[in-house]
Amino acid sequence: MRTIVKLLRYSLLALLVSGCGSGKQEAPGSGPAPAAQVVSSERQLAVESRKIIKEGVITFQTGSLQETRTKIDAALRASDGFMAKESENRYSDKVEQKVEVRVPAEKFDSFVRKVTEGVEGFDEKNISITDVTKEFIDVEARLKVKKETEQRYRELLGKAGKIEDILAIEKQIGELRSEIESVEGRLLYLRDAVALSSLTITFYENISAPATFLSDFGVGFKNGWNNLVQFIVIMVNAWPFFIIIPIVVIMIRRIGAKKAAKKQKQP
């Protein structure tokens, strides 16, 4: 049992070492290339081999939902893209359509220009670019190592004679197979996201709601309530006058009464 475990460990270590060193070998007989040519070709290769994910979200108002939708469908056909999801919502003041499209990455920019041509302003416009080159290379390398390790395990499984050794190797193969499927799923997602860019388009058309008795009643009630509140606020702000004015009136009457009394006493 211990011998089998040691063999498994040594096999994994050998694969890791060979995987790291395989990319450093040079083709025999090839002479050194000019420095400028090497730098230029390396830069060109680096640009072409980059793995870029483009995604975007745009929202805008349109004068006609039908015309905008027709423009989107035509741009999709011209760009070899497809509709991944679509929905429509109707509100009291507008009708809104939302579509999610997938477009080949090399045609994404031209597609966005065609769809947004003539749009005066955006409620939202967000285009993101994510470089996943490093992750892509790392995932591919890990997948290669895990598959080679699985092959070594299967070779050891064919040579194992004891039941306990067979069970130990099968357990390792099962765990490794689960890891391989997970890495393959991530690699598949990256390849799909790099090849096809995603864009979510939300466009809406404002509408005028027809007037009804209930809506008019509601507006009238709301206006009346607002007027009542404003009247109460005015009355509260004017409370000093309701105290001062009666006092002034009482004082004037008393002064008048005193003057009248004096006139009556005079002969």
Averaged pLDDT, 229-249: 79
CA distances, 212 to each of 8, 37, 86, 95, 215 (Å): 80, 77, 32, 20, 5
Higher pLDDT, 52 or 49: 52
Q: Where are the beta strands (DSSP E) in the chain?
A: 52-61, 82-90, 94-104, 122-131, 196-206
* Residues contacting 193, CB < 8 A, separation 6+: 53, 132
* Extended beta strands in 16-81, E state: 52-61
Q: Which residue has the higher pLDDT, 20 or 207?
A: 207
Q: What is the pLDDT of residue 224?
A: 82
**Strand spans (E) along 75-207:** 82-90, 94-104, 122-131, 196-206
Confidence of residue 82 (pLDDT cuts 50, 70, 90): very high
pLDDT at 173 exceeding the cut of 70: yes
Looking at domain 48-132+196-206, does it have CATH number 3.30.70?
Answer: yes
- For the chain, the domains span 48-132+196-206, 212-245
Instruction: Tell me the average pLDDT of the chain.
Output: 82
If you average pLDDT over residues 3-22, what whole number do you get?
A: 50
Name the nearest CA neighbour of 94 among 116, 122, 62, 126: 62
* Residue 255: per-residue pLDDT: 78
C-alpha dihedral, 250 to 252 to 258 to 260, nearest 10°: -120
Q: What percent of the chain has pLDDT over 70?
A: 75
Reduced to 3 states (helix: H, G, I; strand: E, B; else coil), residue 244 is helix
Q: What is the pLDDT of residue 42?
A: 54
Residue 166: per-residue pLDDT: 92
Distance of CA 44 to the CA centre of its chain: 31
Residues 6+ apart with CB under 8 A from 215: 209
pLDDT at 28: 42
pLDDT at 57 over 70: yes
What pLDDT shows up at residue 177?
Answer: 95
Instruction: Say what the pLDDT of residue 228 is.
Output: 82
For 213-229, what is the mean pLDDT?
75
Percent share of the chain, pLDDT over 90? 57
**Predicted pLDDT of residue 86:** 96
With 90 as the cut, is the pLDDT of residue 72 above it? Answer: yes
At residue 145, what are phi and psi to the nearest 5 degrees?
Answer: -65, -45
267 CB-side CA count, 13 A? 0
Q: Please tell me the predicted confidence (pLDDT) of residue 111.
A: 98
Residues 6+ apart with CB under 8 A from 82: 76, 101, 102
* Amino acid, single-letter form, for residue 234: I
Of the two residues 168 and 39, the one the predictor is more confident about is 168
Task: Give CA–CA dist 193/197, Å, rounded.
Answer: 6
Query: Predicted confidence band at 16 (pLDDT cuts at 50, 70, 90)?
Result: very low
pLDDT tens, position by position, 189-215: 999 999 999 999 999 999 976 656 666
User: By the 8 A CB rule, do 184 and 82 touch?
Assistant: no
The pLDDT assigned to 252 comes to 82
| CA atoms in the 13 A half-sphere facing the CB of 257 | 6
pTM across the whole model = 0.61
